[in-house]
């Protein structure tokens, strides 16, 4: 059997100081009354808006939902790194459904999520209503 000698090799990993990053925990900050009103106004849009009213005879259901959450993520390694980060996220969901003459159910849903919203809820719901 042949003798094999392996030359010394460099370390596989760099030697870094452990990272410690602890973001402050965030509490969910939602004005529940304002969002309830916003969802109620958006879901009642078909009663007032001419474009939405034009298709109301075809609508079998419509829903408007709001979700808010805060997520805290932890990372701890055996090398001493400790990371805590938090993120808040809000989501609006609108859905409209109807049925085709052949009986097939047609559902349309639009949602958006983010840390804040700039586009009006009314415009978002009008986009959904145009699909039907």
pLDDT in tens, the chain (132 residues): 567 777 777 666 677 889 999 999 888 888 888 888 877 877 777 667 676 666 667 778 878 888 889 999 999 998 899 999 998 888 888 888 888 889 899 888 878 787 766 556 666 555 655 554
The answer to the question of residue 98 being in a domain is yes
Domain hosting 72: range is: 21-131
The answer to the question of residue 10 being in a domain is no
Tell me the pTM. 0.60
Q: How many domains does the chain have?
A: 1
Whether residue 124 contacts residue 112, with contact meaning beta carbons closer than 8 Å, is answered with yes
Q: How far is CA 58 from CA 3, 7, 40, 63, 98, in A?
A: 83, 78, 21, 15, 6
Phi, psi of 41 (to 5 degrees): -65, -40
Element (H, E) at 106: strand 105-114
């Amino acid at each position: 059997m042949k003798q094999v000698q392996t030359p010394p090799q460099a370390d596989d990993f760099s030697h870094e100081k452990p990272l410690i990053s602890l973001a402050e925990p965030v509490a969910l900050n939602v004005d529940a009354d304002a969002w309830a009103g916003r969802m109620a106004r958006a879901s009642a849009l078909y009663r007032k808006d001419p474009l939405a009213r034009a298709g109301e005879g075809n609508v079998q259901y419509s829903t408007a939902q709001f979700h808010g959450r805060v997520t805290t993520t932890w990372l701890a390694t055996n090398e001493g790194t400790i990371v805590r980060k938090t993120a808040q996220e809000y989501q609006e969901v609108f859905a409209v459904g109807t049925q085709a003459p052949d009986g097939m159910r047609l559902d349309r849903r639009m949602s958006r999520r983010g840390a804040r919203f700039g586009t009006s809820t009314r415009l978002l719901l009008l986009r959904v209503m145009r699909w039907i």
